[in-house]
Amino acid sequence: MNQGRRSCLRTIVCGAMAVVSPGAVADDEVLSPEEAFRVSARRVAPSVIEVAFQVEPGYQLYTDRLRFATDSPAVSVLEVALPEAMERFDPVLEERVRYFSRDFVARVSLSHSDRELVLTLSMQGCSPEFGICFPPVERAFRVPPSQERGAA
């Protein structure tokens, strides 16, 4: 199955599970995406932003569903460094998937920028424990310039 079809299938399946499954568990047990995946961002160098993810127990974020972009056409994302992810076979998608089920930090390298910008994150996660998947969600972070002066 090609990447586009897998991505579309994952979105459809996860969306359907999010609609169908909430009645299967008590409402107070299932967290919202904002609660299940807490995210913060900070500039650690003129062209590097660290994005810290806090993943609640029982929830997972798919690595291939993490996307980063800036609000400036002059500043592009060059690389996203992620730690080693876990892997499992997903019977719904009929393929192996990589995911994070605990806290981690992504280092986002930018083409150049030491001015304030908005970093946008798109992500998608699930809770196999509760049998639900969330549709993709976006978060935006206003990132101030670094405190380093004279850095290239």
Whole-number pLDDT of residue 4: 54
**137-143 and 117-123 beta bridge pairing:** antiparallel
Whole-number pLDDT of residue 21: 44
Q: What are the residues facing 106 on neighbouring strands? A: 51
Whole-number pLDDT of residue 19: 45
Whole-number pLDDT of residue 12: 47
Distance CA 114, CA 31 (A): 36
Output the six-digit token pair for 15: 């969306």
Distance CA 82, CA 63 (A): 9
What are residue 4's phi and psi, to 5 degrees? -65, -45
Q: Would you say 82 and 123 are in contact if contact means Cβ atoms under 8 Å apart?
A: no
The alpha carbon of 93 is separated from its chain's Cα centroid by a whole number of angstroms, namely 19
Whole-number pLDDT of residue 24: 41
Q: Which domains does the chain have, with CATH numbers?
A: 3-143 (2.60.40.1250)
Q: Would you say 56 and 76 are in contact if contact means Cβ atoms under 8 Å apart?
A: no
**AA letter at 46:** P
Output the six-digit token pair for 142: 């206003």
Residue ranges in the chain modelled with pLDDT below 50: 8, 12-13, 15-27, 150-152
Whole-number pLDDT of residue 2: 55
pLDDT in tens, 47-91: 999 999 999 999 999 999 999 999 999 899 999 999 999 999 877
